[in-house]
Structure formats: C-alpha cells, structure tokens
Amino acid sequence: MHDDIPGVRLSGRPHAGAGPRFEVVEPATGRPIGHVATGTGPDAARAVDVAAAALDGWRATPAPRRGEVLRTIAGRLRAADGLAETVARETGKCRREASAELALAADYFDWYAALAHTLTDQVLSVRPGLRHLVRTGPVGVAAVLTPWNFPVSIPARKIAPALAAGCAVVFKPSELSLLSSLAFAEICESRLPQGLLNTVAGDGPEITGAWLEDRRVRLLHFTGSTAVGRNIAQAAGQALTSVVMELGGRAPFIVLPDADLDEAADTLMVTKFRNNGASCIAANNVWVHEDVRVEFLDRLAARVSALVPGDPLDERTTLGPVRTREMAGRLETLITALSSAGASVHRGPRPEAGGWYVAPTLVVDPATDSPEWREEIFGPVALVRSYTDLKEPIADAAATRHGLAGYVCTGDVAAGTELLTRLDVGIAGVNVATPATPEIPFGGRGDSGIGYEGGVPGLLPFLTHQSIAAPRP
Ligand code: NAD
C-alpha cells in the first residue's frame, strides 16, 4: 500500500496537496493499493507561475537541442519496466499491453524530437518591395488533461509536441490512473530543465477552472469523454483559450463477403478486446455480410471463448478487468437490456476471483434503434449485426454524431479503402486493427473532437506565428 503519494509536482518537486485524497483501487482485486494527496486551485495557479517562469529559457533553447532532450526521455521510457507493471496493475490492462504503451509513448517523443528540427523562421518575398519575416514559436503555457485508459501514451502524445514546440506544460492526469501518470511525469522531469512540466492531480473543474482563468495558458489540450469535453470547450470558448479535443468514438467495423474470415475475426479481436475494450478507436458496431454471417460468428465465438481473463500481471492473461465497479455494472446492465429486447448473447469465461471482471461478450442482432446500440461501449462487449446492402452500415455510421474511427475487412484492399473514404471518420483501417502511429494525424470529427494529435498536425496547435512586413533592403 502506498499512502499519501504526493499528487502535485511543481518544478520537479513533489508535494501532498490539500485537495481530495483519492483512493487508488486495483481493478483485479477491488482492493485499495494507495492514496494520492491531490492538489487544489491554488496549486494549479502556482503550476502556471512555475511553467511561465521556465518558458523563456526553453523557448530560447535551439529546437534541435530540445529534440535531444526529448530523445533522452524516450530512452528512459523504453527502460521503465517498473512503470509498465504499475500501468497494468492500476488500469487492468495486460502487462504486455502496458509495455507496448510505454514503447508507443517513447515513439511519440522520438517523432516530435525529429520534428523539432523543422521549426525555423522563414523569410518570404511575396509582394514587390516587401520582405515578410514569419517567426514561429511556442504558443506559451499549454494545459494537458488526460483520461485513464492510456495513462502514459496519451499524455506523451500531447507533452512531447508541446515541449518540441518550446511550450511549458501544466498537466492534470485522470484520477483513475494517478500512479501511472505521476510516475510518467517524474520520468519526464528527470530529463527536463526545471519547471517545464508541472503536474496537478485533483478535481477536474477546479483545476481546469484555474487554468482557464489564467491568460498565460494559451491552449487546453484535452482527451476524454464527449460530455466532459463539451463542458470544457464551452468554458474555453468563453475564455477564448484555444482547444484540442480528442473525444469518444463509436467505430463501425464492416466485414465484406470477400473477407478472409479468420483474418477478419483476428482483426476484430484486437480492435474490440485490446486494452480490455477501453479504447476510443475500439470497434463498437460490427456489421457482417449476411452471406458469411454464420461462418464469421462461429469463428468469433470460438475466439471469445478462448480468451483468458485474469490477473493483468500473469503472462497467460489475455483479458484483464474493467477499471471500476461502476463500469462493470454499466456493461452488465447494457447486456441484460439488449438480451431482454431479443438479442442473443454469447459469453466467454470470467475468473471466479474478486475484482471487476466482465466476461467477454458477443451480443448478436441488437436493435439498431436501442439506446445501447448508439452508446460508446468502452468495454469487452461486441455488438454484431448482419447486413445485405452496404447502404445500411454506411447510413448507421452517418446517423451518429461521432466520427473517430472505422474498419473494413475485405479481400479487395482498393474497394475497402474506397468504402472507408465514404465514412466520416478521422482514422481507419482496411484489415488493420491498430491504424494509429505517431507519424500520422489522429483526430475525430463531430462529437469525437476538434483538431489532431500525431503527425505534423499534432505539433501545430502548440505553435504561434508572428509575421513582420518590412521594405526589402
Ligand atoms: P473523462 O471525460 O471522464 O475524464 C477525462 C479527464 O477529464 C480526466 O482527467 C478527468 O479527471 C477530467 N474531468 C472529468 N470531469 C471534468 C470536468 N467537469 N472538468 C474538467 N475536467 C474533468 O474520460 P475517461 O473516462 O477518463 O476516458 C474515457 C473517455 O475518453 C472515452 O469516451 C474515450 O473514448 C475517450 N478517449 C478518447 C481518446 C481520443 O483520442 N479521441 C483517447 C482515449 C480516450
């Protein structure tokens, strides 16, 4: 048991805040494993003071040198074995998934370290007699707010471009992943000049409110649910603070009749059950062509039955628990509601032991007008329907306001690609379960968000430009 872990880290110095004392409960057992002494509004205000004081020195540091520092953070993340264990214990994801998350976080630092080399001022000759100097610099202090499900890689894909751009950062991690995110912050701080990364765990509205009141915070970079994102974006709009919003998803997964059905079932197992189903780009609504429905469902049911739920730290485990008791309860209620309304249900194994385990589940033929069909599932439950005309899944996807991810399985990659261009989503895969990688832009449309992470677009919100026109010498 870790007691009174400091939930505030300013200038690399941890201290116990006077905010709510958060209990960290391990989802595999349902038992507490620590307490975090979180911060308050005044801590959040001080975090901005510290970040603002560190900003000038970092802004003046040549961008390639900033890149070198980022590369050393990547190196430390790759070697942080203990952190992978903490992530698995705290979030419930399997140990190997936690290691993969750390590797991905390191890749984000490397990618933005490389992009730092591209940050240069420009001189343009676009009007007779005039010279335009375009100066590119950091936007200022950036506020980063993150969810629990990827407590290292999501902070990394915000903090790495922020630092590459020359920003200083104030960071509020999720209360459901404090041990992981605080340990990640400590690793970053160990390689950064003091004051560039300041972490304040605590009550979301209180911390965010303090940051939106401070004009030195120029950008609020949020990942989380659509409902919370909408609230924060509203407040940020009032303050005229820029936002990036990476929000919830409801990805369609379409199996065409020419698909290799083993490959399609394997792809779905990854995109649906990876991270115990808690991924914003997880397959949410599965559509299989009527001609291959029976064969596909047989393959899928066999794979679901073969999952090995259990302790995330046990190498044999392929599915961990969900994060909280409430999340488990919500999923069980959803399954019961769909089953009572006529859907058939296939359930895989569930460990006897305590903890917040939900048996992996297929719900077949749920009604498309049920509220559960429209929900973001965010757990190890797959909703599957069949179709005869592609217009049906396309219309269903268009009817949602979400637009994050989509998947197609087919033997004809060109046709699959063309089909995906007809879906209003930001990231998609043809026979590919995990399309996101640091080098490409990642962002949702509609209720799934505003702006991008990853790729070159992921750097742009952290930059500001000043254009100075002068007579040409
Ligand atoms: P959440 O919205 O509950 O919490 C996200 C963050 O916001 C946390 O740090 C939380 O403490 C904070 N917060 C909560 N209420 C707040 C408020 N009123 N004011 C200010 N801050 C507040 O999300 P979650 O449960 O941690 O994560 C799951 C959600 O995140 C899912 O909807 C998932 O799809 C989404 N998500 C999206 C992406 C993406 O890239 N689009 C990635 C991961 C997760």
For the stretch 16-25, pLDDT in tens is 999 999 999 9
The predicted model gives 209-229 an average pLDDT of 98
* Site to substitute for ligand 1 among 24, 149, 181, 241, most atoms within 8 A of C-beta: 149
Question: pLDDT at position 323, please?
Answer: 98
Residue 280 has pLDDT above 90, yes or no: yes
Give dist(CA 72, CA 190) in Å, integer.
Answer: 10
The predicted model gives 273-297 an average pLDDT of 98
Spacing, Cα 158 to ligand 1 middle (Å): 14
Q: Counting atoms of ligand 1 from 1, which one is nearest the CA of 150?
A: 43
Q: Counting atoms of ligand 1 from 1, which one is nearest the CA of 205?
A: 19
Lining residues, ligand 1, CB within 6 Å:
145-149, 154, 172, 174-175, 204-205, 208, 223-225, 228, 231-232, 246-249, 280, 376, 378, 404, 444, 449
Tokens of 260: 């290799």
For the stretch 171-185, pLDDT in tens is 999 999 999 999 999
Q: What is the CATH code of the structural domain delimited by 251-437?
A: 3.40.309.10
For the stretch 51-78, pLDDT in tens is 999 999 999 999 999 999 999 999 999 9
Can you tell me whether residue 224 is helix, strand or coil?
A: coil
Strands 197-200 and 8-10: antiparallel
Active site residues: 246, 280
- What is the sign, positive or negative, of the torsion defined by CA atoms of 186, 188, 194, 200? negative
Whether 130 and 470 have beta carbons less than 8 Å apart is answered as yes
Whether 14 and 8 have beta carbons less than 8 Å apart is answered as yes
The residues spanned by each domain of the chain are 4-247+449-471, 251-437
Split at pLDDT 50, 70, 90, the class of 46 is: very high
Split at pLDDT 50, 70, 90, the class of 354 is: confident
Whether 335 and 381 have beta carbons less than 8 Å apart is answered as yes
Can you tell me whether residue 217 is helix, strand or coil?
A: strand
Q: What are phi and psi of 299, to 5 degrees?
A: -65, -40
CA angle 56, 61, 66 (to 5 degrees): 120
Whether 455 and 112 have beta carbons less than 8 Å apart is answered as no
For the stretch 129-139, pLDDT in tens is 999 999 999 99
Tokens of 93: 């994801």
pTM of the model: 0.97
* Site to substitute for ligand 1 among 223, 241, 326, most atoms within 8 A of C-beta: 223
Fold for the domain defined by 4-247+449-471: Aldehyde Dehydrogenase; Chain A, domain 1 (3.40.605)
Q: Which long-range contacts (CB under 8 A, 24 or more apart) does 390-395 make?
A: 390/254, 390/419, 392/287, 393/252, 393/254, 393/285, 393/287, 394/419, 394/422, 394/423
The predicted model gives 390-402 an average pLDDT of 95
For the stretch 99-146, pLDDT in tens is 999 999 999 999 999 999 999 999 999 999 999 999 999 999 999 999
Spacing, Cα 267 to ligand 1 middle (Å): 26
Q: How far is the first Cα of the chain from the last one, in angstroms, to the nearest whole number?
A: 69
Can you tell me whether residue 17 is helix, strand or coil?
A: coil
Give dist(CA 287, CA 368) in Å, integer.
Answer: 11
Split at pLDDT 50, 70, 90, the class of 1 is: low
Q: What is the mean pLDDT of the chain?
A: 97
Spacing, Cα 145 to ligand 1 middle (Å): 8
- In the chain, the largest separation of any two C-alpha atoms, in whole Å, equals 80
For the stretch 255-278, pLDDT in tens is 999 999 999 999 999 999 999 999
Split at pLDDT 50, 70, 90, the class of 318 is: very high
Tokens of 110: 């490397």
Whether 385 and 362 have beta carbons less than 8 Å apart is answered as no
The predicted model gives 418-438 an average pLDDT of 98
Spacing, Cα 24 to ligand 1 middle (Å): 17
Spacing, Cα 139 to ligand 1 middle (Å): 24
Residue 444 has pLDDT above 70, yes or no: yes
Query: How many Cβ atoms are within 10 Å of 305's Cβ, its own excluded?
Result: 14
Residue 352 has pLDDT above 90, yes or no: no
Split at pLDDT 50, 70, 90, the class of 162 is: very high
Instruction: Compute and round to an integer the Cα radius of gyration of the chain.
Output: 23
Split at pLDDT 50, 70, 90, the class of 251 is: very high
* Site to substitute for ligand 1 among 150, 174, 176, 326, most atoms within 8 A of C-beta: 174
